[in-house]
Chain A
């Protein structure tokens, strides 16, 4: 039994490693994507967003505000225009993403104790860039507002310290302990790599099973006919031995090369990743039971990939989805894996806090095993003409 399993394992490795498409799909693609995504999000946050200034005041204060905006790391001054209308073509040409309008008599109004308005027009079509530029502009203007307010109060006879407190009576102190700099790389990189690894493993396993021919299975094996169970175990072990190291290295890339923190236990992460990758192999086999050709199953995986990423709650949180969609999101294995990944890496959570997600992942593992077993049995049954003792396979299946 052990000898047959080992022979089948070797055969499976030969099949995957000598098929350049399968081997590159399973073993190379996750790395390529990990480096590509790391390269895109490596900077962490959007910096130097081009903005335009409409300075209708031409005063010392307006020039000071313009300089302060230009000094912000998140912003860069693309140029000045005469009127806000001139901003629209610049947005449409992707030349500028925000416009700060400092109106006429701005300084005079501020000095005269009258309300002075600064208009900020944003390109709201890209929320990521919009959020960053809006926060940076607000923070610069807030500094000036508090400064001016305190200065005026001190003219009214208040001490400088009391004036400063009165100008900002309730100071909101924002802290984001799990992602202090709102780093986009910390937020998305691990989830993306995990989804890519999931998809290529599913796709690779499905294609690998559907391309397998039983007649070929017998060549080179001097042993008696293996049972479906032996074939199943050999295939899973062989595939896992190839994909697990790949998945582990791909997941380590954000921590090792792109500065993502790992605050929790690496051993816990590895254990969960192992369970998850085995589940993906089983699910990959399972899907192939619906198809006769590897093209069909590849297409299914392709179309499911973006939807699974969205439903995993990694970007759009599950609690913000419509009620009827939430159970579907919770039933997605990627939802639990991504939650564990993010919480272990960023929050430093331990197994006690992740009990629900860990139980869900174990449940998927248990459910997916019979499904994958059925797929392997079905694939073997398809090739009855090759002389595989189906009666025996069926008996094994019934017994199990």
Chain B
């Protein structure tokens, strides 16, 4: 059996080498695309959001607040204005994305202990940058609010400084974000993993989408039926041949964010390497099976595209599965990308063990069994077609 598998794999490698041109794109594209994605997210957080400052107070406090906001790396000065009316137009022209309004008598109201409001108008049409803006602006203003409150308490009640701080902040919130220290903004740890899984999946499926088709064209001596009667040996040989080509590319893609862009790798690298091998083999089996059954490389490639493209959004990687409508939850759990992307995230970002990935591994196992049965069925189709050709020749 082992010899047969190796013989079939060698035969497939020979075919790949003869048709090497068509593989260039599939092998090079994932590396180039993941490198570009890495560069896009390399700043890790949204910085330099241009701010429009509407200072109607022209006081020391409003100037101090402006300086504090602009000192934050999230913001940069987009301009000054007398009113916020031109904010929508400036947003439409991409010139500013946040507007801070310090109203008349802000300082006077604060000193007189009257309610003083600072208006913050956000461009939340982009939620990613909107969240970062809201959080940074609130932090800066909250720091000032506490400072002012402490001074008020000291002045009003005569409570000394340290105690006044306790009165001003009776409940302090200590926020810690596990697995993503630059929380609220570190998108490299968050999005990159999901996006590169798309490329691992595309490479595995697309490369093998032609693996079965050419078997329909093989001549009698080289036909599948002449090599072995065992369909499993044929499936194994095919999968071995394509995994040997795709796996190194997948591993480079998987390690790229860690090696070049500073993404963490906290869990077991051996487990990650094994799961990547498993996932790649499963994808290659699915691609080969589709290729056998459809007998058309273009059609098989299109089906692979239809499977892969919505996967990222449905896999629960960005929008959590528990927040999806119940009907879509089942679909999300059933997608192969869900299993791999979550295992990858858990191993690399959370430092989890294989035990923590049990649910995902169960789904991956189910996919593997289904893919193997599907590939066996496809192989039988080829054998049947080859025999019909033989009979016709006879």
Interface of A with B (CB < 8 Å)?
21, 25, 29, 33, 36-37, 39-43, 46-50, 88-89, 91-94, 97, 110, 113-131, 134-135, 137-138, 141, 144-145, 148-149, 152-153, 156-158, 162, 164-180, 182, 184, 186-188, 192, 196, 199, 203, 207, 293-296, 298-307, 310-311, 314-317, 319-322, 325, 339, 342-343, 346-349, 353-354, 356
Q: Is the CB of B120 within 8 A of A173?
A: yes
Contact assessment for A134 and B324 in the assembled complex, using a CB-CB cutoff below 8 Å: no
Our pick among B50, B94, B319 for the contact of A40 (Cβ within 8 Å) is B319
Contact B320 A46 (CB under 8 A): yes
Q: Is the CB of B36 within 8 A of A307?
A: yes
Query: CB-CB < 8 A to A184: which residues of B?
Result: 127, 319
Cβ-closest chain A residue relative to B102? A170
Instruction: Please give the distance in Å from A231's CB to the nearest CB on chain B.
Output: 23
Judge whether A316 and B120 touch: CB under 8 Å.
no
Q: Which 8 A-B residue pairs are closest in the complex by CB-CB distance?
A: A124-B180, A124-B177, A176-B124, A349-B92, A303-B29, A353-B92, A92-B356, A179-B124
Question: Would you call B306 and A348 a contact (CB within 8 A)?
Answer: no
User: B122-152, CB under 8 A of A: which get 1 and which 0?
Assistant: 1111111111001101100110110011001
A199 to B308, CA, bound (A): 13
Residues from chain A with a CB closer than 8 A to the CB of B126 are 187, 314-315, 317, 342
A-B contact pairs, 29 of them (CB 8 A): A37-B310, A39-B328, A46-B320, A93-B356, A116-B172, A119-B173, A124-B179, A127-B186, A134-B184, A153-B153, A162-B113, A165-B114, A169-B116, A170-B106, A170-B117, A171-B117, A171-B118, A172-B118, A174-B138, A178-B91, A182-B131, A295-B209, A298-B301, A303-B25, A303-B202, A320-B45, A320-B47, A349-B89, A354-B92
Contacts A118-B174, A354-B92 aside, 4 further interface pairs with beta carbons under 8 A come to A156-B156, A173-B117, A203-B305, A306-B312
Interface 1/0 per residue, B163-201 and A, CB below 8 Å: 101111111111111111101111101110001001100
Are B180 and A152 in touch, CB under 8 angstroms? no
Contact A295 B319 (CB under 8 A): no
Q: How far is the CA of A166 from the CA of B148 in the complex (A)?
A: 8
**Interface presence of B394 (CB below 8 A):** no
The answer to whether A303 touches B199 (Cβ under 8 A) is yes
Q: When the two chains form their complex, are residues A172 and B157 in contact, meaning their CB atoms are under 8 A apart?
A: no
CB distance from B290 to the nearest CB of A (A): 13
Nearest A-chain residue to B152, judged by Cβ: A166
CA distance A346 to B124 in the complex (A): 10
Give the CA-CA distance A298 to B308 in the complex, in Å.
13
Contact B127 A42 (CB under 8 A): no
**Chain A residues closer than 8 Å to B206, beta-carbon distance:** 299, 302
A contact residues around B130 at 8 Å (CB): 176, 179, 182
Contact of A353 (CB < 8 Å), options: B89, B169, B318:
B89
Nearest-CB distance from A43 to chain B (Å)?
6
- Closest chain-B Cβ to A376's Cβ sits at a distance in Å of 20
Q: Which of A120, A148, A199, A339 contacts B175 (CB 8 A)?
A: A120
Specify the chain A residue showing the minimal Cβ separation from B174: A119
Take A37-B313, A134-B184, A325-B40 as given contacts and tell me if A118 and B172 are in contact as well, using a CB distance cutoff of 8 Å. Answer: yes
> What residue of chain A has the Cβ atom nearest to residue B176's Cβ?
A121
* B179 and A123 contact, CB distance less than 8 A: yes
Q: Which of A40, A89, A186 contacts B313 (CB 8 A)?
A: A40
Q: Among B43, B119, B148, which residue has its beta carbon within 8 angstroms of that of A173? A: B119
Asked whether B318 lies within 8 Å of A186 as measured between CB atoms, the reply is no
Contact A122 B177 (CB under 8 A): yes
Main secondary structure of the interface of A (DSSP, over half): helix
Known: A124-B183, A175-B120, A177-B88. A114 touches B157 (CB 8 A): no
Question: With A36-B314, A115-B169, A310-B40 in contact, is A43–B187 under 8 Å at CB?
Answer: no
B92 in complex: contacting residue of A36, A304, A343, CB < 8 Å: A343
Residue in contact with B149 in the complex, picked from A169, A311, A320, CB distance below 8 Å: A169
Instruction: Tell me the complex Cα distance, A301–B202, Å.
Output: 11
Which chain B residues (347-379) contact chain A, with CB distance < 8 Å? 349-350, 352, 356, 359
Does B178 lie within 8 Å of A317, measured CB to CB? no
CB of B65, distance to nearest CB on chain A (Å)? 8
Distance in angstroms from A172 CB to nearest chain B CB is 4
Check B302 for interface membership: any CB of A closer than 8 A: yes
Asked if A166 and B350 sit within 8 Å, CB to CB, the answer is no
Given contacts A317-B126, A320-B48, A353-B89, whether A145 and B153 have CB atoms under 8 Å apart is no
Q: Is B221 positioned at the interface, with any CB of A under 8 Å from its CB?
A: no
Asked if B226 is at the interface of the complex by the 8 Å CB criterion, the answer is: no
Interface centre among A126, A144, A320 (most CB of B within 10 A): A320
- Specify which of A36, A121, A295 lies most central, judged by the most chain B CB atoms within 10 Å of its CB: A295
- Least Cβ–Cβ distance between B381 and chain A, in angstroms: 19
- Complex CA distance for A144 and B269, rounded to whole angstroms: 45
A311 contact from B40, B47, B110, B322, Cβ within 8 A: B40
Nearest residue, chain B, Cβ from A115: B166
Tell me, yes or no, whether B30 is within 8 Å of chain A by CB: yes
Residues of A contacting B30 in the complex (Cβ-Cβ under 8 angstroms): 303
Contact B125 A149 (CB under 8 A): no
Docked CA distance A131–B131 (Å): 7
Cα separation A88 to B350 with both chains bound (whole Å) = 9
- The answer for the CA separation of A18 and B59 in the assembled complex, in Å, is 72
Tell me whether B37 is interfacial, beta carbon within 8 Å.
Answer: yes
- B346 contacts the other chain (Cβ, under 8 Å)? yes
Check if B345 is an interface residue, CB within 8 A of chain A.
yes
A302/B308 in contact, CB under 8 A: yes
Contact of A165 among B115, B180, B181, B198 (CB under 8 A): B115
Q: Is B309's beta carbon under 8 Å from chain A? A: yes
Smallest distance from the beta carbon of A355 to chain B beta carbons, Å? 9
- CB contact between B298 and one of A89, A149, A180, A294 (< 8 Å): that residue: A294
- Give chain B nearest CB distance to A85 CB in angstroms: 12
CA distance A165 to B256 in the complex (A): 52
Residues of A within 8 A of B342 (CB): 94
> Bound complex: CA of A343 vs CA of B92, how far in Å?
6
B56 at the A interface (CB under 8 A) = no
User: Which A residues are CB-close (under 8 A) to B312?
Assistant: 306
Known: A92-B350, A310-B37, A311-B40. A114 touches B171 (CB 8 A): no
Interface pair B319/A41, CB less than 8 Å apart: yes
Bound Cα distance A85, B189 (Å): 23
